[in-house]
Amino acid sequence: MTDAAASESDTVPSSEFAGVPDGFQRLWTPHRMAYIQAGADAMRAACPFCAAPGKTDADGLIVHRGKSAYVLLNLFPYNSGHLLVCPYRHVATYDLATTEETQEIAELTQTAMRVLRAVSRCDGFNIGMNQGAVAGAGVDEHLHQHVVPRWASDANFFPIIARTKALPQLLGDVRETLAAAWPAY
């Protein structure tokens, strides 16, 4: 695009562009293309929670690696800093986890809360596990606990009216901040 064309497009209202105007706003989320292109079958065939530990921390969005469990960012977060605590072992439900795994999941969840509170000054948390597809688990074959930071002002009309969540930070930036704040053992 030439400089003249670029400056012209800056002054032309979008209603004059090609296409049929509608009442929708657009929120561009190119990071979701990886999920869309992989498709649901690929997500089931290659468990993302089994694959993540084999990647670098940055590529796997891993914040902390423990002995039997680890912490990573949710690729499709409800809020900035939405963490998942997973056992390394591919196990579907909490009752199938070992005592060692449940203990470390609990300890990592507590640490995640402390780190998120210190780094993001959140006001509260949603913590939980969806056990099985019927209960809402997106990856129902690998146990994972959600730790979602919440702020008094984090609710707005986007999720209710537009089914859209606005996230103020990029995942890589959030991972770096949380990993740097994670206490060493």
User: What is the identity of the amino acid at 184?
Assistant: A
Contact 24, 14 (CB under 8 A): no
Contact 106, 166 (CB under 8 A): no
Q: Which of 49, 85, 81 is nearest to 69 (CA)?
A: 85
Report the C-alpha gap between 136 and 26 in whole angstroms: 27
First to last CA, the chain: 54
Report the C-alpha gap between 117 and 123 in whole angstroms: 8
Output b/e per residue, 1-24; b: 16+ Cβ within 10 A: eeeeeeeeeeeeeeeeeeeeeeee
Report the C-alpha gap between 37 and 48 in whole angstroms: 14
Name the active-site residue from 64, 82, 142, 144. 144
Confirm whether 144 is a catalytic residue: yes
The residues annotated as belonging to the active site are 144
